[in-house]
Amino acid sequence: MILKRALILFTLAWLAVPFAQAADPIVIKFSHVVAPNTPKGKAADYFKNLVEERTGGRVKVEVYPNSQLYKDREEMEALQLGAVQMLAPSLSKFGPLGVRSFELFDLPYIFPNKETLYRVMDGDIGKQLFGMLESKGIKGLAFWDNGFKQMSANRPLRKVGDFQGLKMRIQSSKVLDAQMKALGALPQVMAFSEVYTALQQGVVDGTENPVSNLYTQKMHEVQKHLTISDHGYLGYAVIVNKKFWDDLPADLRPVVEKAMADATRYEREIAQKENDDALEAVRKAGKTEIYVLPLEGRLEWHKVLLPVHKQFEDVIGKDLIQGVYGIAAEVEKERLAATVKPRDKAKAKAKAKPAKAQ
Ligand code: LMR
In angstroms, what is the span from residue 214 Cα to ligand 1's centroid?
10
Q: Alpha-carbon distance 218 to 214, whole Å?
A: 6
**3-state secondary structure string across 283-302:** HHHCCCEEEECCHHHHHHHH
pLDDT in tens, 74-102: 999 999 999 999 999 999 999 999 999 99
Residue list, ligand 1 pocket, CB within 6 Å: 33-34, 90, 146, 171, 192, 209, 213
How many angstroms is it from 205 CA to the middle of ligand 1?
Answer: 17
Query: Could you give the domains of the chain?
Result: 2-341 (3.40.190.170)
Predicted confidence (pLDDT) per residue in 169-205, tens digit: 999 999 999 999 999 999 999 999 999 999 999 999 9
Beta bridge pairs of residue 292: 228
∠ Cα 313 314 316 (to 5°): 65
Ordered DSSP codes for 116-161 = HHHHHHHSHHHHHHHHTTGGGTEEEEEEEEEEEEEEEESS---SGG
Give the list of residues 6+ apart from residue 263 with CB closer than 8 angstroms, or none. 43, 44, 46, 47, 50, 142
Contact criterion met (CB below 8 Å) for 84 and 70: yes
pLDDT of res. 20: 44
Task: Locate the ligand 1 atom nearest the alpha carbon of residue 209 and give its number.
Answer: 3
List CB contacts of 64: < 8 A, sequence separation 6 or more. Answer: 29, 30, 31, 32, 84
Question: Angle of helix 318-339 relative to helix 124-131, nearest 10 degrees?
Answer: 160
CB-CB contact of 119 with 125 (8 Å): no
User: Which pLDDT belongs to residue 340?
Assistant: 78
Which of 67, 103, 151, 171 to mutate for ligand 1's pocket (most ligand atoms within 8 Å of CB)? 171
| Chunked mean pLDDT (size 10), the chain, 358 residues | 52 47 87 98 98 98 97 95 98 96 98 97 98 98 98 98 98 98 98 98 98 98 98 98 98 98 98 98 98 98 98 98 98 93 67 52
Q: Whose CA is nearest to atom 1 of ligand 1?
A: 192
**Amino acid found at 107:** L
Do 185 and 167 form a contact (C-beta atoms < 8 A)? yes
The average confidence (pLDDT) of the chain is 93
Residue 51: what are its φ and ψ, rounded to 5°? -65, -45
Atom of ligand 1 nearest to the CA of 90: 5
**305 close to 182: Cβ distance less than 8 angstroms:** yes
Tell me how far apart the alpha carbons of residues 355 and 358 are, in angstroms, rounded to a whole number: 9
Question: How far is residue 10's CA from residue 303's CA, in Å, rounded to a whole number?
Answer: 81
- Probe residue for ligand 1, chosen from 30, 31, 32, 34 as the CB with the greatest number of ligand atoms within 8 Å: 34
Q: What is the predicted pLDDT for the residue at 218?
A: 98
Q: Count CA atoms closer than 13 A to 333's CA, side-chain side.
A: 6
Q: Name the closest-CA residue to atom 8, ligand 1.
A: 90
For strand 138-153 and strand 186-189, is the pairing parallel, antiparallel, or unpaired?
A: unpaired
Q: Give pLDDT tens digits for 276-306.
A: 999 999 999 999 999 999 999 999 999 999 9
Residues 308, 180, 164: CA angle, nearest 5 degrees:
125
Ligand 1, atom 2, residue with closest C-alpha: 192
Which atom of ligand 1 is found nearest the CA of 171?
Answer: 2
Q: What is the pLDDT of residue 18?
A: 45
DSSP-derived secondary structure for 221-287: GG-SEEEEEEEEEEEEEEEEEHHHHHHS-TTTHHHHHHHHHHHHHHHHHHHHHHHHHHHHHHHHHTS
Q: What is the pLDDT of residue 355?
A: 47
Cα of 242 vs centre of ligand 1, distance in Å, is 23
Instruction: Locate the ligand 1 atom nearest the alpha carbon of residue 32 and give its number.
Output: 8
Bridge partner list, 189: 170
